[in-house]
Structure 1
Amino acid sequence: MGSPQLLAFFEYQGASTAEHLSWRVFRDGELAYESPPVPWLGGESGTWWVGLPFEDGLQAGRWTFEILFDDVERASGRISIWR
């Protein structure tokens, strides 16, 4: 069984006017999860994280996180997991 979750940490600045945060997670280019918009509580700048839990453990593949503020993509990152 693999890890129970995959987390993405990101640094940000200029986010004081953002109202909502959301994120999308892709595995091998296919959408695996899309969060609902959640109220943004992080302020102007700092470090934040988002994640994706797995009931059966993390699977191998190329995982991509897209970070959105008010429905606009502001950052993305990728990690490859191999077994």
Structure 2
Amino acid sequence: MKLVYFAWVRERVGKPEEVVTPPETVVTVTDLIGWLKTRGEEYDYAFENEGVVRTAIDRVHAKPGTAIAGAREIAFFPPMTGG
């Protein structure tokens, strides 16, 4: 699946996107973030406060417990405010 990072999440991870194959035990957004945090300090830093980072699966906002099976793209971004 393709992961896309925006704003300061991208800056902390150090890349705008990547293609990954998580282990079969990774079934939800929360699991995915936990797995990413084990991949290096940059991921641990990017997701140090998991409750702040927002997620979209195939361009639809997703909650932490949302299943990721079949997802083509998962995006991570900080909260946004309108004006």
- The two structures have a TM-score, normalised by structure 2, of 0.30
Structure ID, larger Rg: 1
